[in-house]
Amino acid sequence: MQNMRRKVLKAGGGVALYALLVAAGWLKAGDAAAQSWNKSAFEAKTLDEALKVFGGGSSAQSKDIVFVSTPDIAENGAVVPIGITSSIPKTEAIAILIEKNPNPLAAIFEIPPGTEPAIGTRVKMAQTSNVYALVKADGKYYVASKEIKVTLGGCGG
């Protein structure tokens, strides 16, 4: 343990991050080795499995979650822009799940109060698939989906 801490301290920027992670409640103080990364959810192989692990097993369809600047057809599956905006009050987290990817869960964004529940990023898609935006708001889960057609996959060898 002591050794781990040394390493983190040595890494310079690690100090600030460590403090941040502790502040964010991700880490218990002194537990520098354990990054908060939802391993089981990210490694789930099917959409249902990922949803279950993530805790969004029973989520309501919602029209208050909107995909913005997200294409209907992606020419290159290696870079697919995804934008998700939630107008559900007290949105705490937004997750992106891509049904037909080898591991459906792509990302989880935790939204602290004061941050707008609107995020944009770029993902890889193996093939044409439904993309799900899962929103956690006030302890409940909501979901919206959109099909994105991919003409060239992003996860091939």
Partner 1 sequence: MPDPMKIRATVVGDSTEVRVLMSHEMETGQRKDAQGNVIPAWFIQNVVVAHKGRPVLNAQWGTAIAKNPFLSFKFKGGAKGDKIEITWVDNRGEKRTDETAIG
What does the binding site for partner 1 look like in residue numbers (CB under 8 A)? Answer: 11, 13-14, 16-17, 20-21, 23-24, 26, 35-38, 42, 78-81, 83, 96, 98, 101-103, 105-112, 114-116, 118-125, 154-157
Q: Between 107 and 140, whose beta carbon lies closer to partner 1?
A: 107
Is the Cβ–Cβ distance between 60 and 66 less than 8 Å? Answer: no
Backbone phi and psi for residue 130, each to the nearest 5 degrees, phi listed first: -80, 140
Q: Between 33 and 60, whose beta carbon lies closer to partner 1?
A: 33
Q: Which of 153, 51, 45 is nearest to 102 (CA)?
A: 45
Backbone phi and psi for residue 47, each to the nearest 5 degrees, phi listed first: -60, -45
Q: Between 125 and 143, whose beta carbon lies closer to partner 1?
A: 125
Q: Between 16 and 60, whose beta carbon lies closer to partner 1?
A: 16
At closest approach, how far in Å is the CB of 80 from partner 1?
7
At closest approach, how far in Å is the CB of 125 from partner 1?
8
The residue with tokens 């050794």 is: 3
DSSP character for 91?
E
Is the Cβ–Cβ distance between 103 and 43 less than 8 Å? Answer: yes
At closest approach, how far in Å is the CB of 68 from partner 1?
11
Q: Between 35 and 58, whose beta carbon lies closer to partner 1?
A: 35
At closest approach, how far in Å is the CB of 97 from partner 1?
9
At closest approach, how far in Å is the CB of 74 from partner 1?
11
CA distances from 128 to 45, 87, 122, 125, 152 (A): 17, 27, 15, 7, 9
